[in-house]
């Protein structure tokens, strides 16, 4: 799992920068014989695509994926699947400010400290554009998991949470926030608009649930399903926290309150609760696998912030131009993709070891 690759058996490697000619993913280890065309992947890219509402960045990228290898006569061959997405809206702008000074909160300073050097155009490799490659790879991973349904949504923006009693799955695709609670969506419209207009930004929480995962996926001890999910989610741009099941709420609970008792069911055990989020000892229990992911507010804001130049002089920077007032929103398809990628890998690993 080194550097720009993820996964063990179902493994992908991504490449590309915000302002390069293209970006892509190479998916390796995919089972053969799966029906796959660009049309299977494109909807997920479309969901993540910027510029679709005023609540996301106005950069216009069609994000059309091309499959360059690994598919023959409409089916996967078992060899590497190369996916490429061209960048078309690398707007020519003046990067003088950013080239000379570090945007606070961004990876600028850390990259320079590491590499002595950085591609400063739009964040280079650290740009959230890379997540398009993950989403494309995730589209392939979903084909490996016909038994699993993956659903993510925004459950909180800027501290304003949805009411789970009003959860309506159909609502998620009806508003620009992937919000399952119509009333919250209405409130967020005002909230995010205000942030956008004032050049501020807001954090968000994304939840994701995978149903249909059979008991037995995952492995002790360093390939635990929850550890892999935590790795996958924490590696998404702007993510600062990950919870499995009840997460931090479990830390405030008692053993009785946190219990997931079982009783005989029609098909295997029936659980009376799912505080564990579908994972025990790092292995799936057959219950829905649930994860919550905290996205920080993007550091790209209009308010000037103190920072330093590459030469170490004091200066101030603010972010001109296009940015996401709430990056967590477009995190929804990315979180879904990472869930699919982890599960596909764990499915193959389980089959490999246990037959």
Least distance (Å) from a second copy to the CB of residue 171?
21
Residue with Cβ nearer a second copy (88 or 272): 272
User: Closest CB to a second copy among 43 and 352?
Assistant: 352
Residues 108 and 237: their CA atoms lie apart, in Å, by: 14
Nearer to a second copy, 5 or 170 (CB): 5
H or E stretch including 269?
A: strand 268-271
Q: Give the list of residues 6+ apart from residue 212 with CB closer than 8 angstroms, or none.
A: 145, 147, 148, 149
Question: Rounded to the nearest whole angstrom, what is the least distance from the CB of residue 170 to a second copy in the complex?
Answer: 25
Q: Does 122 contact a second copy by CB under 8 A?
A: no
Q: Which structure tokens are listed for 96?
A: 């003088």
Query: Which stretch, 45-53, 90-98, 171-179, 291-299, contacts a second copy (CB under 8 A)?
Result: 291-299
C-alpha–C-alpha distance, residues 88 and 250, integer Å: 46
Per-residue tokens: 271: 């659980």
Can you tell me which of 50, 277, 288, 333 binds a second copy, judged by CB under 8 A? 277
x/- string (CB under 8 A) for a second copy, residues 325-344? ---x----------------
Query: From residue 66 to residue 105, what is the string marking binding to a second copy with x (rule CB under 8 A)?
Result: --xxx-x--x-xxxxxx-------------------x-xx
Q: Would you say 174 or 313 has its CB closer to a second copy?
A: 313
Interface segment toward a second copy; rule CB under 8 A; list 45-53, 166-174, 178-186, 266-274: 266-274
For 113, 121, 164, 240, 343, the CA distances from 199, given in Å and listed in that order, are 29, 20, 30, 22, 38
Candidates 36-44, 45-53, 88-96, 224-232 — which segment interacts with a second copy by CB under 8 A?
224-232
Q: Longest C-alpha distance within the chain, in Å?
A: 69
Question: In this chain, which of 140, 141, 284, 330 binds a second copy, going by CB under 8 A?
Answer: 284
**6 belongs to the binding site for a second copy (CB under 8 A):** yes
Tell which phi-psi region holds residue 187, choosing left (phi > 0), alpha (psi between -120 and 50) or beta.
alpha
37 lies in the site for a second copy, by CB under 8 A: no
Could you count the other beta carbons within 10 Å of the beta carbon of residue 85? 23
Long-range contacts of 103-111 (CB under 8 A, 24+ apart): 103/299, 103/300, 103/307, 103/317, 103/319, 104/299, 104/305, 104/306, 104/307, 104/317, 105/299, 105/305, 106/299, 106/300, 109/308
Task: Using the rule CB under 8 A, give the single segment among 52-60, 64-72, 167-175, 179-187 that binds a second copy.
Answer: 64-72
Quick one: which segment of 46-54, 65-73, 90-98, 177-185 binds a second copy (CB under 8 A)?
65-73
x-marked contacts with a second copy along 242-261 as a string, rule CB under 8 A: xxxxxxx-xxxxxxxxxxxx
Rounded to 5°, angle at Cα 304 from 300 and 307:
90
């Amino acid at each position: 799992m080194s550097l720009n690759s993820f996964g063990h058996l179902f493994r992908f490697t991504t490449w590309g920068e915000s302002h390069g000619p293209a970006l892509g993913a190479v998916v390796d280890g995919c089972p053969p014989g799966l029906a796959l065309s660009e049309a299977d992947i494109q909807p997920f890219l479309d969901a993540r695509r910027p510029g679709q509402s005023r609540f996301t960045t106005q950069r216009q990228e069609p994000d059309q994926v091309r499959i360059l290898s690994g598919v023959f006569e409409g089916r996967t061959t078992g060899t590497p699947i190369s996916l490429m997405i061209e960048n078309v809206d690398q707007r020519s702008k003046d990067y003088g400010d950013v080239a000379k000074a570090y945007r606070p909160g961004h990876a600028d300073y850390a990259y320079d400290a590491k590499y002595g050097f950085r591609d400063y155009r739009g964040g280079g490799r650290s740009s959230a554009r890379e997540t398009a490659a993950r989403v494309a790879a995730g589209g392939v991973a979903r084909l490996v998991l016909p038994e699993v349904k993956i659903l993510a949504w925004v459950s909180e923006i800027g501290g304003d949470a949805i009411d789970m009693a009003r959860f309506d799955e159909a609502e998620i695709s009806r508003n620009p926030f992937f919000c399952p609670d119509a009333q919250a969506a209405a409130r967020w419209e005002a909230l995010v608009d205000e942030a956008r207009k004032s050049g501020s930004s807001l954090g968000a929480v994304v939840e994701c649930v995978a149903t249909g995962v059979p008991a037995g996926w995952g492995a002790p001890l360093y390939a635990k399903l929850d550890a892999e999910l935590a790795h996958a989610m924490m590696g998404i741009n702007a993510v600062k926290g990950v919870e499995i099941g009840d997460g931090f709420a479990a830390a405030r609970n008692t053993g009785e309150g946190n219990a997931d008792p079982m009783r005989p069911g029609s098909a295997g055990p029936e659980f009376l609760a799912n505080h564990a989020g579908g994972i025990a000892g790092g292995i799936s229990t057959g219950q829905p696998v649930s994860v919550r992911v905290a996205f920080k507010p993007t550091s790209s804001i209009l308010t000037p912030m103190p920072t330093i130049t590459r030469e170490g002089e004091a200066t101030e920077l603010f972010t001109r131009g296009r940015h996401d007032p709430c990056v967590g929103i477009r995190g929804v398809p990315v979180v879904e993709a990472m869930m699919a990628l982890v599960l596909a890998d764990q499915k193959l690993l389980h089959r490999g070891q246990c037959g």
